Each structure stands twice: as structure tokens, then as C-alpha cells.
Amino acid sequence: MNESLFSHSHLSAFAKEIFLKIGCPEDQAMRAVESLLRADLRGIDSHGVARLSGYVRLWEAHRINTRPAIRVVHESPSTAVVDGDSGLGLVVAPKAMEIAMAKAKQAGTGWVAVKNSNHFGIAGHHAMMALPQDMIGMAMTNASPLVAPTFSVERLLGTNPIAVAIPAGQQPPFVADFATTTAANGKLEILQRKEKEAPLGWIQKKDGSPSSNPNELKNGGALIPLGSDREHGSHKGFCLGAWVDIFSAVLSGANYGPWVPPFVSFLNPPANPVGEGIGHFFGAMRIDAFRPANEFKKHMDQWIERFRSAQLVAGEEKLIIPGDPEREFEIDRMKNGIPLNTKVVADLIEVGKKFDVPF
Amino acid sequence: MNESLFSHSHLSAFAKEIFLKIGCPEDQAMRAVESLLRADLRGIDSHGVARLSGYVRLWEAHRINTRPAIRVVHESPSTAVVDGDSGLGLVVAPKAMEIAMAKAKQAGTGWVAVKNSNHFGIAGHHAMMALPQDMIGMAMTNASPLVAPTFSVERLLGTNPIAVAIPAGQQPPFVADFATTTAANGKLEILQRKEKEAPLGWIQKKDGSPSSNPNELKNGGALIPLGSDREHGSHKGFCLGAWVDIFSAVLSGANYGPWVPPFVSFLNPPANPVGEGIGHFFGAMRIDAFRPANEFKKHMDQWIERFRSAQLVAGEEKLIIPGDPEREFEIDRMKNGIPLNTKVVADLIEVGKKFDVPF
């Protein structure tokens, strides 16, 4: 596959122009760019500028409001429900995370459920906002239904990711960010581009039987919850995806399960919505609401060092602490550039032409 | 395998006598029995009266304090850290959950990290305490190290379960309660008793290669995080187990990772502890801190009904909503009795003899 490198600043400037062209205020355009580019930097290529044209098409379909009045519609000392006013999830999510952190400053923790939002990029970016405040950050979201619960052939859940970001001291932070399926949808997109087969246990056919075809979803197939099959715990993956769905949407008043609107603009949202838009859930916990932050960080360092020095299976190089690979990507790509494949570049050039913004 | 049925009231009365004999005050003995028997009722046989003799042996080894002064050592409006004073986890956990619920009444949510505790039985029991208060309940705990993180041969984590209990309206509540491994240790114990092989993907040998021997842990093997292998997401299972460990122990000041003291009395706790006892983490979220409880419950009913009526894989009977099987067990066993196998009965008779309490 042909790839070219682009600098973070180049892609940021381009994406910002596009967000301005579709009507985002300056501050929101910058925030959207920060969320979006973080995915490219961290190596989650499926969620970065490759999705820019998708957001634009949703705006063209009048499904994204680029001048949202994001507001708190219900609250308690440690909680809030936020109405995203159909805004870009890339903008709504950081705003909701800020509300969670403000609550945590007062009450020790803050928990914010969001309705009426759209795709928010990578969960990890929002969770990590808590780190500089010596807080633990959490972020989750529901998403277009692509996943069949154990024993079912219907796509009832999204890949519903969970992110947990935990500060350390000398060590870099612990940042887990993962889809609650065996494999994220982005992994399938990579196999599709490379025309390779998927391992069994990632995807099922329309009738629920195993498939290794990364295009199986186009034939009515589905992704499988983490665990792969009942014997290996796919019911636990289903529990996780369901938990994310309920916290994100039933607590907030968003759409849940099969009613979650699709990300792609060529598919219409269900005609009988049970809520508003898609839902997210955020948490911020002040470390010193539990124990002094320096004590906590000292022990986090010890935790990370002990695990990092674990005895390995012969032939393996290292035990990966959650967040390690993404941090290495971020350092490398900030310095050396972000690789984009030919198809993504062509797509960005197209988007640029639409608004008279040269890529 | 030979099994006999015993009534809930018979087993409760017996267990209570034993807890009184080892020094528990009356109210704590009752609370311990309630936690313990809930496991038997809900079909999680490995965590019920089958463990009674184990708790007694820990007490004999002076590792359990049956007159604990359980107290809050740090707090904020929505958080607390509780010192369990080496008490029975079966008693410390419900007390900590009550503190979480009291915080939630005031602040919307309550989050309690616990140190200096012991094995707390099944996580689901504690999470479910929130349900009658129209709250969402969460419970997690770390445990004796039996699990090797992805790419490692060392046992660095416990089976670290997570429970989430969510109230509904007409429908029974959603209650997820699962080990963050492919299979819980109790599942291995059942295979050991039946002298059957385990599926590949549950256990690894001392060198990290696959094993189907349910006794492999005695040879230096390890349990595997949910996902079974890297290709099927075992690094996500590791994230989950690590998250539970950090919330339970690094936030509270308990032992974490390989330093968690073993449940079995014949193995000594590590000589160089990094904290006190084992750790738990509890959460309670008042539904009406997010939206009116009746609205939420109406949507939970709709969520559950939609998933329950999902189109199934041919030959499958139903889609299991988390909590369904355990609730069915509970109804059946409360009415018809709790089956105990010969080995467990013999063990209970032995314990009884020790204290002059006939089983």
C-alpha cells in the first residue's frame, strides 16, 4: 500500500480550515482538530483525518450542528447530563469532560452522561484530559450497531469502547482504550485495504457461523464481543458493551442498542428513535479524594515497573503496559510525520476541493 | 458426582454458628452469612459455603480479624477510603457499599476504595445492594495472583471480577458479574472435580504455551485474561484486570499485583507487602442524579425487552440478559434447596466438629 507522510501541523491546519468552512466557531474548530488528530498521532488511523470526509457528509445530511448550544440539562454535586445539541462529538466530548473535572474539583468525582451527540473520535483522548489535573479520567461511548450479542445474529451494539487514564509519577500514565469487541472495526478496515483474511473469532456470518471475511458485515454479518465465543467468555464482552451502552444512553436519554444512528451518512437513522443522537459517558476522579497524589503516583510507578519487568514468554520482547504503543506512535509521528495511504489522501483532496481548501 | 440438597435456612444457620464461634459479633455474622449464601443461591458454588472452611483457616492463621473496627480514613463529598482492619471481606464489603450509597444520597454518586480487607465473596451481591435504592451499584476486587498478563509467564493479577447492577422497571435488573479472565477459577475447580479437560485458551503452562489441564496452576501455569490470546484481545482482558487492581488497591493503599495475599492459608502473604491486605472498589450512582428514575426504568425495560427478543443463531434458545441465569438459580434454590457435593459436605462436617456445631 502506498503511503505518504504529512506533518501534524499540516494536517491540523487543513482540518481546521474544513471545520471552519462547515461553520464551526474558531474555538470549536480547534478543539475538533485536537480530538481528531490525536487519533492519527496515536496510531489509531481509522479514527483520525481518514474520518474527516465522513463528518463533512454528516453535516451535509443535516445530522451535525456546527453551532451547537452544548448545555447541562440535569445535575447533582457529582453528576450532570449534557445535551450536545447535535454537535460534533469531537467538540461535545471535551466539553463534557471539562464539566466532569469541574465537578470532581468540588465533589471529589464527576460523572457526565451525554445525549444528542455524534461520533467523538478516540475515547482515550478525552480520558487523558484528566491526567494533568492529577485525576483519573474515563470515557466511553455507544456507536452504530455492528455487534451481535452472544447467541444472536442481530447487530444490536456498537463496538462501544472504554478508556481509562491513570496518572503515574516517573512512569508515563496508564492509558487503556479499547473496543469491547474482539477486534475494533478499524482493524477490519485495515484488512479490507490489504485484502487479507481476518482471524476466526472476530466476525460471524449472517447466520451466526464463523467467518474470516473482513467484508462480512456487508453480507449481513456482525462483529463479535470480546471473548470470541461463549466458551471463551464472549458473554463477558457482551456485558461490557451493554454496560457502555446503558451508561452512555439510558442514563442520558440518547439512543441505545439498535436505535443508535449510523456514522455513515448514506444510512438513515432509525425512523423511531428512543432517544436523542448517540450517547457518551465520562468520569473524573480526583486522586487526592482517595489519598495524597504523590503517594498514589509512587505506587503507580511501582505497579508499572513490576509489570514491565515481568518474566516473558520465550521470544516475546516486552510486556505492554496499556498506553505504551500509542505513546511511542505519538512521539514518532509528531517528529517524523503521520503516514496516510493513497486512498485517504485522495479523499482529503476531494474534501478540500469542495470548500476551495487545497490539501 | 454425588450431590445432596440442603435448604438455605439450614446452611445459613450453620454458617452463622461458625462465624459466631470464630468471634464475629452477631450482626457481622449475619451479614457474612448473607454475603456467603448469596453465592450458593445464585449458582456460583465456588464462592459459597464451599469456602467456609477456607475463611476459618485464615482466621486460625491470624489473618482475619473477626472484631474489626471498619473505618473511613479519608473522604470527600463523593468518595471515601475505608480501612477494613483485616476483617472478613464478607462483612467489610457491604459496609463499604453502604458508605458509597450514603455518599450518593448526598452527592449524586459515591465511590469507596477499601484496603486491609479479605476475600469478599461474589461481587454481584454487593453491587445489588444499590438496586432497592434506585441506584446503580458497582463492585470490584483484586485477588490472589493467578493470571499472567499477555506475553508473560508470571502470575501477576487475580481473576479480578467486576459487577455492575442496574435497576429496571417491570423487567428484572441487569446484573453483570464476571471475572476478567477467560474463565473464572471456580470453573476450573468444577473441571478438576469432574476430571475433565479445559478448553484451550483458558490456561497456559509454566512456559506460556497452551494447556488443557485444569490442574496446570499447580505446575506453575497461569490463567489467561479475557480474550485468550493477543490476536483475540487478551490485552483487553489484561487492561480490565489491571484497571480493577489499580482502583481496588493503588487508590486505597492495599496490596496490588503479585503482592496480593493468597486466599489459601497454607501459602503465606508476600514478605514485603506494598500495602495492607487486599483491596476492593465500590460505586453507587443515584439514577435521579441523571434523570427521573421512572423514565430511566422505562427505557431499561425497553432495552432489556429488545435484546431479549433478538433474532437467534439457529439452535440457540435465548439471548441471556446479564443476571438471568443467576436469578433463575436463586428462585429455584431458595425453593428446592442448594446442592452440595460430597466433598463440600464432608468439609462442612469437619468444620462443624472443630467448633462442636453439628452440620
Of the candidates A231, A256, A303, the beta carbon closest to that of B246 is on: A303
Cross-chain residue pair B174–A242, CB shorter than 8 Å:
yes
Residues in chain A within 8 Å Cβ distance of B314? 207-208
Phi then psi for A346, rounded to 5 degrees?
-60, -40
Which sequence spans correspond to the domains of chain B?
Answer: 3-182+224-292+325-355
Cell numbers for B97, please give them. Answer: 457499599
DSSP A152: B
Predicted pLDDT at A1: 58
Q: E strands within B105-225? A: 109-117, 135-141, 162-166, 174-178, 203-204, 210-211, 222-223
Q: How far apart are CA A54 and CA B279, in angstroms?
A: 45
Q: Record the cell numbers describing residue A212, joined without a space.
A: 474470516
pLDDT by residue (tens digit) across A147-156? 999 999 999 9
pLDDT in tens, B69-104: 999 999 999 999 999 999 999 999 999 999 999 999
Residues B241, A127, A163: CA angle, nearest 5 degrees: 35
Interface touch A152/B74, C-beta < 8 Å = no
pLDDT averaged over chain A? Answer: 97
Cα separation, A16 vs A52, in Å, equals 10
Kindly state the average pLDDT of the residues A263-278: 95
Mark yes or no for CB contact B78/A107 under 8 Å: yes
Question: In chain A, which residues have their Cβ closer than 8 Å to the Cβ of B176?
Answer: 239, 242-243
* A44-81: burial string, b at 16+ Cβ within 10 Å, e else: bbebbbbbbbebbbbbeeebbbbebebeeebbbbbbbb
**Where is A320: in which H helix or E strand?**
none
CB burial readout B347-359, b (16+ within 10 A) else e: bbeebbeeeebeb
- CA-CA-CA-CA torsion sign (B224, A296, A123, A155): positive
CA distance B346 to chain A (A): 31
Q: Give the separation between CA B268 and CA A255, rounded to whole angstroms.
A: 51
pLDDT number for residue B194? 83
Q: How far apart are CA A51 and CA A34, in angstroms?
A: 14
pLDDT digits (tens, 9 = 90+) for A243-253: 999 999 999 99
Query: What is the Cα–Cα distance from B354 to A59, expressed in whole angstroms?
Result: 74
DSSP, collapsed to helix, strand or coil, labels residue B64 as coil
Question: What value does the mean pLDDT take over residues A225-232?
Answer: 96
Q: DSSP string of B66-121?
A: SS---EEEEEETTEEEEE-TT--HHHHHHHHHHHHHHHHHHHSEEEEEEEEE---S
**Nearest by CB: B306 against A76, A257, A312:** A257
Instruction: Look at residue A144 and give its three-state secondary structure.
Output: coil
Q: What DSSP letter does each residue of A195-250 carry, written as one string? A: T-PPPTTSEE-TTS-EE--TTGGGGT-EE-BTTSSGGGTHHHHHHHHHHHHIIIII
- Over the stretch A284-315, which tens digit does the pLDDT of each residue have? 999 999 999 999 999 999 999 999 999 999 99
DSSP letters for A34-100: HHHHHHHHTT-GGGTGGGHHHHHHHHHTT---SS---EEEEEETTEEEEE-TT--HHHHHHHHHHHH
**Residue A132, φ and ψ in degrees, nearest 5:** -65, -15
Q: pLDDT value at position B248?
A: 98
Burial of B336 (0-12, 13-18, 19+ CB in 10 A): exposed
pTM over 0.90: yes
Helix (H) or strand (E) holding A4, with range, is strand A3-6
ipTM, two decimals: 0.97
State the DSSP code for A292: -
Grid coordinates given for A41: 498521532
Tens of pLDDT along A78-93? 999 999 999 999 999 9
Tell me which CATH code domain A3-182+224-292+325-355 carries: 3.30.1370.60
Predicted local distance difference test score (pLDDT) of residue B2? 83
Q: What is the DSSP code string of B17-48?
A: HHHHHTT--HHHHHHHHHHHHHHHHTT-GGGT
Interface test with A, best of B83, B152, B191, B317 (most A CBs within 10 A): B152
What kind and span of H or E run contains A263? none
How far, in Å, CA of A121 to CA of A50, rounded?
11
Task: Classify burial at B190, counting beta carbons within 10 Å of its beta carbon; exposed 0-12, middle 13-18, buried 19 or more.
Answer: middle
Return the closest-CA partner of residue A246 out of B291, B318, B161: B291
Residue segments in chain B with a per-residue pLDDT below the cut of 50: none
If you measure CA to CA, which chain A residue comes closest to B106? Answer: A77
